[in-house]
């Protein structure tokens, strides 16, 4: 870890008592800052709070007192999920107090190399593929961190100058990273997500593009080349642009052609040998191939990793086969495009379980995929009726409603036949019924296990 004096004897407020908030509070404390950690909720267990206080970190829970604005903090580190119109955050903005996210502090003290991955969809899978390729092909330590559930603040305190951190970064995290400088930055794709947070698509795109803002000609910017907008965005980067293309629109970097995956003119493997289903996973594999080749990883290792890759929990996760039906958990599909990609990855008839938080949009974009792939649909949550309207327009006759993702399981089995796929791919966030998509997916799997009497594979 690089020792910096930036925060020594400075008052810093950390907002949010989650993993990343606790991690960055401890890191700042180690760097000599006077740290206050604030959370709006009152914890049910004060063990962690007591440990923080024992390290001379002040902890305030139960509300966001506006009086904190007058405490002469020189910096605010904000939990990424807390919006900028939160009254306490807005008050600090009015006062022009710098506001960053945990990633900013962590990246500043990282002595090793940083590979940063973002995108509307596919970033968790791509991050994991990259980590496994680099770890298999390197003698040094390769760490996975960021939005994937492991605070980067924890990792950087262990990583040496010879190690690499592969970080999944969300648009929320990237908004607070003024000095972030990855050696390799990856954008898997950009659609229109989180507009309830970002307000406009332009704001969302700009947040994503922060991943390459500080890159130079000595760095690499790996970006999906299969959309004209994404090609245009690449011109905003000062790094060496490395395209990847499932549709073969560029042969400068990684691409697919005639059922094979290539790096420039070099054949890597057959597309069919990638062990996770779906064309979107071909895109993820191509992005990972580009990073691996830029990092000097041998082709045999790349092929070995992709041929054995088991996927990521909650992202097109194969749960089990039961009575000639394949069951998949794609709870991480919290937007339309993710569900569209999931459906297009199957040739078999699909019994689709979908629904969740109503963010105000409708689902006409899913109609072609519904027509081509969906045999029956079971809907739940706030967005159920809007999804039902799209399903009716697609000509789906078997439309059922369920209380939630768990109760939908029994209905799905009853509606299915030999050779069908039962797929949880909600196309919506989980927050109307579940704390997060992970819990939604876990409860779906538990319900499948209960119904079948088998454990997930």
Give the 3-state secondary structure of 279-296: HHHHHHHHHHHHHHHHCC
The span from the first CA to the last CA of the chain, in angstroms, equals 39
* 247 CB burial (10 A radius; 0-12, 13-18, 19+): middle
- Do the Cβ atoms of 359 and 432 come closer than 8 Å? no
Check whether 296 is labelled as a binding-site residue. no
State how far the Cα of 167 lies from the Cα of 146, in Å rounded to an integer. 5
CA neighbor of 374 nearest in space, from 355, 353, 358, 404: 353
8-state DSSP, 312: B
Which among 255, 243, 267 is positioned nearest to 188, based on CA atoms?
A: 243
| SS3 of residue 338 by DSSP | helix
Annotated ligand binding at 9? The verdict is: no
Q: Is 164 annotated as a binding residue?
A: no
- Give Cβ neighbours of residue 168 (< 8 Å, ≥ 6 apart): 117, 118, 123, 124, 127, 144, 145, 146, 147, 148
Strands (E), 203-324: 220-224, 240-245, 254-257, 260-263, 266-270, 317-322
For 58, the 3-state DSSP assignment is strand
386 is in an annotated binding site: no
CA 342 from chain center: how many Å? 16
Residue 120, marked binder: yes
* % helix, strand, coil for the chain, step of 5: 40, 20, 40
Is 123 marked as a binding-site residue? Answer: yes
The verdict on whether residue 124 carries a ligand-binding annotation is yes
Does residue 212 contact residue 236 with C-beta atoms inside 8 Å? yes
Q: Which residues contact 445 (CB under 8 A, 6 or more apart)?
A: 319, 329, 456
Residue 58: Cβ-neighbour burial (10 angstroms; 0-12, 13-18, 19+): middle
- What H or E segment, with its residue span, contains residue 156? helix 152-156
List all residues 6 or more positions away from 54 whose beta carbon is below 8 Å from its beta carbon. none
Torsion region of 228: left, alpha or beta (phi above 0 gives left; psi -120 to 50 gives alpha): alpha
Binding residue positions: 119-125
Binding residue positions for ATP: 119-125
């Amino acid at each position: 870890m690089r020792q910096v004096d930036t925060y020594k004897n400075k008052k810093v407020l950390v907002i949010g008592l989650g993993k990343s908030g606790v991690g960055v509070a401890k890191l700042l404390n180690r760097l000599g800052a006077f740290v206050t950690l604030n959370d709006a909720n009152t914890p049910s267990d004060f063990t962690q709070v007591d440990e923080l206080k024992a390290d001379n970190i002040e902890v305030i829970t139960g509300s966001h007192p506006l009086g904190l604005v007058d405490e002469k903090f020189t910096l605010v580190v904000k939990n990424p999920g807390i919006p900028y119109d939160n009254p306490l955050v807005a008050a600090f903005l009015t006062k022009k107090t710098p506001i960053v996210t945990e990633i900013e502090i962590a990246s500043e003290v990282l002595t090793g190399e940083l590979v940063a991955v973002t995108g509307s969809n596919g970033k968790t899978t791509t991050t994991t593929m990259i980590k496994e390729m680099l770890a298999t092909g390197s003698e040094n330590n390769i760490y996975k961190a960021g939005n994937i559930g492991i605070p980067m603040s924890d990792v950087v305190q262990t990583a040496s100058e010879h190690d690499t951190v592969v970080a999944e970064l969300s648009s929320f995290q990237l908004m607070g990273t003024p000095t972030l400088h990855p050696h390799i930055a990856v954008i898997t794709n950009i659609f229109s997500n989180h507009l309830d947070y970002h307000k406009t698509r332009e704001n969302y795109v700009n947040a994503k593009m922060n991943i390459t803002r500080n890159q130079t000609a000595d760095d690499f910017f790996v970006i999906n080349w299969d959309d004209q907008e994404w090609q245009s965005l690449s011109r905003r980067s000062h790094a060496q642009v490395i395209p990847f293309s499932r549709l073969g629109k560029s042969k400068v970097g990684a691409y697919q052609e005639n059922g094979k995956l290539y790096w420039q003119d070099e054949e890597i493997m057959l597309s069919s040998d990638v062990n996770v289903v779906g064309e979107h996973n071909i895109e993820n594999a191509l992005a990972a191939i580009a990073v691996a080749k830029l990092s000097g990883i041998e082709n045999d290792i790349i092929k070995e990793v992709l041929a054995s890759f088991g996927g990521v929990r909650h992202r097109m996760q194969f749960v089990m086969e039961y009575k000639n039906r394949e069951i998949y958990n794609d709870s991480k599909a919290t937007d339309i495009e993710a569900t569209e990609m999931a459906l297009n990855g199957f040739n078999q008839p699909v019994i689709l379980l979908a629904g969740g938080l109503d963010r105000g949009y409708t689902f006409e974009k899913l109609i072609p995929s519904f027509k081509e792939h969906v045999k029956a649909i079971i809907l739940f949550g706030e967005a159920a009726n809007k999804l039902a309207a799209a399903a009716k327009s697609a000509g789906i006759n078997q439309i059922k409603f369920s209380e939630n993702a768990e109760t939908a399981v029994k209905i799905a089995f009853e509606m299915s036949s030999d050779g069908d796929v039962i797929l949880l791919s909600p196309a919506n966030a989980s927050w109307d019924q579940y704390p997060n998509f992970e819990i939604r997916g876990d409860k779906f799997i538990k319900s499948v296990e209960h119904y079948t009497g088998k454990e997930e594979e």
